[in-house]
Structure 1
Amino acid sequence: MEVRPIRNEADYQYALQEIDRLLHASSGTADEDRLEVLITLVDAYEEATEPIGPPDPIEAILFYLENQQLPPEALEPYLGRDQVTVVLERRVPLSLEMIRNLREGLGIPADILIQRYELEAA
């Protein structure tokens, strides 16, 4: 099993092609081993060259709602009845109290909620 380090874009593209080719390798074979090693190398290369930053606060809240299969109204106890729509539409920023409520009530990390994000122009 010859596997090379991923040092540049060409190596990266080659590894992706190999992964695609080996995607349905039979269990317990050398091809399956090669596939696992290549996936690990690609993950490491992507993390080093294109780290994924945290989501913005509104994206995190929307992800939470979707993941829990909840309607936006479920945020009323944390944001206030009249604030859910304007916050989710990015017309009003999250207040410190809202951030605390979301962290304590829903478990959304405060370090995500306190990030700056773009508001829609009025």
Structure 2
Amino acid sequence: MNFERHSQVASLITELNHAFPLAREIRNTREHAQALEQVEDLLEDYETNYILIEALSASIERYESSADEFSAFNQRQTDIEPAVATLRFLMEQHNLNTTDFENEIGKKSLVSQILNGHKQLTRRHIENLAARFAISPALFF
């Protein structure tokens, strides 16, 4: 890259840092809320704002992984098995309950036992769920 081009890029980065300081660092809950709002606004034109959305999202992720107010949530997420977390996510996204998996898993009681950590999803369950929701079985691991 020639000097002139490098200078232009550096100037653009400086402008972005001034316009979107939260893309570098979020220091408190107020800034966290502002960053979330900015991402929401930028998503209106994702293709144009892709780089800025990625920068803000990375900053939000760093803040949420280290801020005290998220520590209990982060610990609960760490404690949940990936298969159960994926199943819960699918249930939430598709507005399903334990009775909606008769074909993929079995009776409501078995689904409840899996969600509560008393039983595990089998390979067959995972294959059935992956087929139903058109997702990769790898999401359960």
Which category describes the TM-score, using the shorter chain as reference length? Answer: 0.5 to 0.7
- Asked if residue 68 in structure 1 is aligned to residue 94 in structure 2, the reply is yes
What is the alpha-carbon distance in structure 2 between the residues aligned to residue 71 and residue 90 of structure 1?
A: 16
Label 1:85 to 1:20 Cα distance change in 2 as closer, same or farther (>3 A): closer
**Structural RMSD (CA):** 4.1
Structure 1 gap segments, 5+ residues each: 25-35, 116-122
Which among 111, 124, 131 is matched to residue 84 of structure 1? 111
Aligned residues: 95
CA displacement, residues 57-99 of structure 1 (integer Å, 9 cap, x when unaligned): 1121112112211221111211111521211111111111111
Percent same amino acid among aligned pairs? 18
Counterpart in the other structure of 2:57:
43
More helix by share: 2
The one-letter code of the counterpart of 1:93 is Q
Partner residue, 1:119: none
Q: Give the whole-Å Cα distance in 2 for the aligned partners of 1:20 and 1:105.
A: 38
Map Cα deviations across residues 35-61 of structure 1 (whole Å, 9 max, x no partner): x675443224556896xxxx8211211
Q: How does 1:1-122 map to 2 (within 5 A)?
A: 2-4=15-17, 11-13=24-26, 17=31, 20=34, 39-45=53-59, 56-81=82-107, 82-113=109-140, 115=141
CA distance in 1, matches of 2:119, 2:54: 42
Q: Secondary structure at the match of 1:57?
A: helix
CA distance in 1, matches of 2:60, 2:90: 25
Separation (CA, whole Å) in 2 of partners of 1:92 and 1:73: 17
Q: Does the aligned pair in 1 maintain the 2:114–2:121 contact within 8 Å?
A: yes
Task: Report the Cα distance in structure 1 between the residues aligned to 2:34 and 2:59, rounded to whole angstroms.
Answer: 17
